[in-house]
Amino acid sequence: MNRVALITGASRGIGRSIALAFARHGYSIGINFARSKDKAEAVAREIGSLGGKSLLLEADVSNSEQVKKMVGKVMGEWGKIDVLVNNAGITRDRTILKMSDEEWLETIQVNLTGAFWCLRECAKEMCRKKEGAILNISSIVGAKGSSGNANYVASKAGLMGLTKAAARELGRFNVRVNSLLPGFHRTDMGNRVWDKLFERVRSEHFLGKLTDLEEFAEFVCVVAEQKSVSGQVYNFDSRIL
C-alpha cells in the first residue's frame, strides 16, 4: 500500500529536501506551504518527475483550524498519514531587551504551537490505525542556547520537550515521535546569517565542514522507518550538544 508523508514548510530549504527524499522512498507527499505557492508547485513538479504523487496544502500551521483542514485534505485524498515531519519554522531575531511581544509570540506560535497542532491532528489518525511516525525538526541551539534569538531557541527547546512527552503518551499506540537537529545550511532562512556565522559554525565541527543537506533529508527518512525507536533527539552534524 502506498505510504503517505505530510511535510510542513515543504516549499523550500530543508522541507523541500525532505519532501523529495520521501518521494524517492516511494511516499506520496503532502506539501504544506504558507505563502510560497510557486515554490511549492515547483516541488510538486519535481516529485512528479520522480514518478511520485503530491498534494499542495496551503495552510498556516499556527492556525489550528487551518491545520485541521489540511490534515482532512490529506485523509480525503489518501485515507491515511504514515509520517508527519514538523519542519515549518520562522526566525524573528532580536536581542532580549529589544524583542517585541509580536516577535516573541509569532515565533513560538509557528515553531512550537504550530508543530503541536500538526502533531495532535495527525496523531489522532495514527492512533486509530496504531502506526505512525512523527518527526520534529528542532535545532542544536535549542540544546546549547544562542544569543540574539531567544524566541527561536525557546521554540526549538520546546520541540525537544514536546517530542519526549508525545513519545511517552503515544507509544502505546505504536506511534513513534523523534526529533532531529539538521545543522546549519544555506537555505532561505540560513542565508540571513550565513556570512556572519559560517566560519564560526564550521570551526565548531570536528570534521571541518557543515552537514550535507541531502544526507540529512535521507537520514530523516531512515529515522521515520525505524519501528522500535521513539523519544530520541538526533544531532546530525559533528558538533557536540
User: Is the model's pLDDT at 118 over the cut of 60?
Assistant: yes
State pLDDT tens for residues 35-93: 999 999 999 999 999 999 999 999 999 999 999 999 999 999 999 999 999 999 999 99
**Residues annotated catalytic, as ranges:** 152
Predicted pLDDT of residue 194: 45
For residue 141, give the 3-state DSSP assignment.
helix
As a whole number of angstroms, the distance between CA 217 and CA 109 comes to 25
Q: How much is the pTM?
A: 0.92
Q: What percent of the chain stands above pLDDT 90?
A: 83
How would residue 185 be classed by pLDDT, with cut points 50, 70 and 90?
A: low
Predicted pLDDT of residue 237: 78
Q: Which domains does the chain have, with CATH numbers?
A: 3-235 (3.40.50.720)
141 contacts: CB under 8 Å, gap ≥ 6: 149, 152, 153, 156
